[in-house]
Amino acid sequence: MDAPVRPRLRRRAARQRPRPGDKWHLDEVFVKIQGRQRYLWRAVDADGNVLDILLQNRRDEAAARRFFRKLMKKTRSVPRVVATDKLRSYGAAHRQVMPSVEHHSHKGLNNRAENSHQPTRQRERARKGFRSMGAAQRFLAAFSGISPHFRPRRHLMTATDYRTEMIIRFAIWDHITGSVALPTAA
């Protein structure tokens, strides 16, 4: 894919992305890159849509502040409630960056964000780890936006509804990317 097409795809995909909900779940997870421990920060809204990810070297207050600012800049919105685990960096950064937002900090409140790490872990195993922080950030930023499109909530659908939904989703994907399926030889 040539360079001018990528920004156009990103803009088109961003326009079709739903607006974030008013409750955000935040979490961080450890990722090993070149034998060194890094931290993958992730924000998910109440509907399970990944709002943003950020890969950083640290898990301190400055890193949490950076993540909050990047998140608000990308989504162009401020949540009503932020749910996190008990990492103290969240509370300190929250008080500085968005003091008007309600902050819930409890062990089980950010399970939605915890579960959104699972596809990343599966992908990490398939790739046998990430080679660099830049490559991991670029891959995960794209993957977290594309992956949910092809993962409908299968457990809530009948087989017929699932097949119909996947046909629609692949048609949307073909429309966004401008690709046309090649005919197969019989």
* pLDDT, tens digit (0-9, with 9 covering 90-100), for 100-111: 888 888 776 656
Q: What is the mean pLDDT of residues 117-145?
A: 69
Helices (H), the chain: 5-16, 61-75, 88-97, 111-116, 118-126, 133-146, 159-177
Would strands 36-45 and 23-33 be described as parallel, antiparallel, or unpaired? antiparallel
Q: Which two tokens stand for residue 20?
A: 């974030």
Residue linked to tokens 């890969």 = 55
Whether pLDDT at 1 is above 50: no
**Hey, what CATH class is 5-150 in?**
alpha beta
CA 9 to mean position of chain CA atoms: 17
Count the neighbouring beta carbons within 10 Å of the beta carbon of residue 35: 6
What percent of the chain is modeled with pLDDT above 90?
5
Residue 46 pLDDT greater than 70, yes or no: yes
Selected residue with higher pLDDT from 98 and 135:
98
Average per-residue pLDDT for the chain: 77
175 has pLDDT over 70? yes
| 105 closest CA partner among 87, 127, 131, 118 | 87
Looking at residues 124-132, what average pLDDT do you find?
A: 66
pLDDT digits (tens, 9 = 90+) for 136-154: 777 777 777 777 777 777 7
Q: What is the spatial distance between Cα 33 and Cα 11, in angstroms, rounded to a whole number?
A: 30
DSSP letter at 2 equals -
Return the ∠ at Cα 51 (arms to 151 and 79), rounded to 5°.
130
Overall pTM surpassing 0.75 (yes/no): no
Higher pLDDT among residues 125 and 59, named by residue: 59
Using the structure block, give the residue that is written with the tokens 């079709």.
16
The pair of three-digit structure tokens given for residue 27, joined into one six-digit string:
């979490």
Closest CA to 72 of 110, 100, 48, 92: 100
pLDDT of residue 186: 47
Tell me, rounded to whole angstroms, the distance of Cα 143 from its chain centroid: 8
